Structure formats: structure tokens, C-alpha cells
Amino acid sequence: MKMCNVRQFFKQFPDDEACLLHLFDVRFGQGHDCPKCKREAKWYPLTNEKAYSCQWCGHHIHPMVDTIFEKSRTPLQLWFYAIFLFTTSKHGVSGKELQRQLGVTYKTAWRMAALIREHMAAIDGEAPLGGEGKIVEVDETYVGGKTEGRDWRARKTVVMGMIERGGDAMLKVVPDQKRGSLMPVIRENVAGGTEIHTDELSAYKKAIRWNAMDTRP
């Protein structure tokens, strides 16, 4: 999720369809090989199902399957907003806070918070993302603090997102976007030989070069 504040969140994720598309793009992407007919395919959203359909054979991909959203009746946009709150809060989010912010029951809020925490913990300290022939997309965003004044950057936290194509995602808080802050995070969490995609920072471009030189098994 590439965003800084609530306004940008709702611009990027105005409804459930936008959230489902994001989930599809992150996990599969246009051009993803169809698991059934094995062809490189364009994928079209279905109107009556939370799924995408192969242009060739009509096979369906359900982006929510095998995610924490799978068995939930809570709208996807609320889930995304809950995750947004988690990633933009330095001290975590309580079930009560989530209940208040989302307007859901405490039971629902508690369950969502537990799943999000569990998922974030599972990602932390696990096997690195990527590997030989895999693609990891890296992006960063500033969150928190006011945006006025010359030193506003200094008062913000940088959240760095790393998403493996067709795989897992990882969110890390880093103190700033300098190369010295980002490099160790990439080094620690992305396997050598990974192709790193990013559209922004020169610090990452140097990191990519580091990654290409990496000879770890």
C-alpha cells in the first residue's frame, strides 16, 4: 500500500473493487500465467463474484483465497483500512480503537486485530522474500506528523513495503529513506538473486546493485 494519509488511502482505495484489484495485482498481476490453460493471460474482473477470469479459458482466480480476508464477511475496504491503521501506528491498534474507527462490532474488530497482528508477526522473522528468478517490489511512504515546515520529513516515519510477486508481503518501519537505513532492511529480508522492482529512490537502485552482486546461496 503506497500512501501517506487518510485522504490518499481513500483516493487509492475508494471501494471494495479497488481493493480487490490491488490484491489481485499484488498476488498475481496482469499477464499471470493461467494455472489451468497455462497461457499468459489478461484477467477480467467478474461482476457477480470476487474473482478474476482468464481471457482464454474463463478460469477463475479468487484473490482473497489463502489470505486473512478469505472467510470474512467484513468488506475488503474495511480490512485494508484496518491494515492501514496498523502500519501507520507506532504503538499498535487495540480492538476498541478498531471498533471505533471502523464502526464494526467489538467481536469483529477484535478478530480482525488478532488476524492482522498474527499475520504481521508471522511475516516478521520469517524466511526472506524473493529468491532466484523471483520479483520483489519495494516502495516507501511517509506517515504521521504534520507536513508543514521545512523539516517535516524529519518528523515522519518511513514505512517500507516489500511485496513478492505471487508471494508474501512485508512492512518495515525505517527511520528515514537514506541508503544506510534501507540497505540493511533489504539485505536482511530479501534473498540474494532477487529481481527488485522500484520506481522511486536512488537508494534502492544502489540496493539492487548490491543484490545483483550477492553470492549467498
Q: Shortest gap between Cβ of 25 and Zn ion (angstroms)?
A: 18
In the bound state with Zn ion, the residue whose beta carbon lies nearer, of 61 and 116, is 61
In the bound state with Zn ion, the residue whose beta carbon lies nearer, of 46 and 212, is 46
- Restricting to residues 49-78, which ones interact with Zn ion according to CB under 5 A? 54, 56-57, 59
Q: Shortest gap between Cβ of 35 and Zn ion (angstroms)?
A: 8
Task: Tell me how far apart the alpha carbons of residues 207 and 186 are, in angstroms, rounded to a whole number.
Answer: 7
- Restricting to residues 8-47, which ones interact with Zn ion according to CB under 5 A? 34, 36-37
Task: Tell me how far apart the alpha carbons of residues 166 and 195 are, in angstroms, rounded to a whole number.
Answer: 14
Task: Tell me how far apart the alpha carbons of residues 99 and 169 are, in angstroms, rounded to a whole number.
Answer: 25
Please tell me the count of residues contacting Zn ion according to CB under 5 A.
7
Residue bearing cell 494455472: 35
Residues 6+ apart with CB under 8 A from 118: none
In the bound state with Zn ion, the residue whose beta carbon lies nearer, of 6 and 57, is 57
The residue with its CB nearest to Zn ion is 34
The closest alpha carbon to 114, from 88, 82, 141, 87, belongs to: 82
Q: Shortest gap between Cβ of 90 and Zn ion (angstroms)?
A: 44
208 membership: H or E segment, kind and range: helix 202-213
Q: Shortest gap between Cβ of 49 and Zn ion (angstroms)?
A: 16
- Which residues are near Zn ion by CB under 5 A? 34, 36-37, 54, 56-57, 59
